[in-house]
Amino acid sequence: MASVTASPTDENTHTAHKRRVNELIFESLAAYPRDGEIAFFCECASETCFETVWLSLDDYETGRINPRWLVIRAGHRRQTAVGERRRPVPA
Ligand SMILES: [Zn+2]
């Protein structure tokens, strides 16, 4: 029997990839002294955005406690929230 796998929307994929990179940055630096700030990638929905957001490791770790928290540069758009209503497309 065939199974159907739901694929995430493109913008959710872009956010997920950048979020994973940020997690790797955090993990690679977690053992070092936590002074100063680190450049994390903006986790907005844009596939072409690779701008940085400077955060301390403590601030990043604190933010990640909330699973919905994203590193977003001021003025950039978050991904479409899961469960967010979309306007129906006329037939
Ligand atoms: Zn961005």
Beta bridge partners of 41: 52
pLDDT tens, 36-52?
Answer: 999 999 999 998 999 99
* E-strand stretches of 8-89: 38-41, 52-55
Q: Please compute the mean of the pLDDT values over residues 19-23 and round it to a whole number.
A: 96
- Ion ligand 1 residues within 5 Å by Cβ: 42, 44, 49, 73, 76
Going from the Cα of 66 to the center of ligand 1, the distance in angstroms, rounded, reads: 19
pLDDT at 3: 52
Q: State how far the Cα of 89 lies from the Cα of 91, in Å rounded to an integer.
A: 6
pTM of the model: 0.74
Q: For residue 53, give every residue at least 6 positions away whose Cβ sits within 8 Å of its Cβ, in sequence order, or none.
A: 39, 40, 41, 42, 71, 72, 73
Going from the Cα of 47 to the center of ligand 1, the distance in angstroms, rounded, reads: 9
Cα angle, residue 75 at apex, residues 80 and 11 outer, rounded to 5°: 25
Report helix, strand or coil for 63.
Answer: helix
Higher per-residue confidence, 38 vs 88: 38
Higher per-residue confidence, 90 vs 20: 20
pLDDT for residue 6 is more than 50: no
Record the tokens describing residue 13, joined without a space: 């994929």
pLDDT at 73: 96
Domain ranges in the chain are 10-64
pLDDT for residue 24 is more than 60: yes
pLDDT tens, 49-58?
Answer: 999 999 999 9
Element (H, E) at 17: helix 10-29
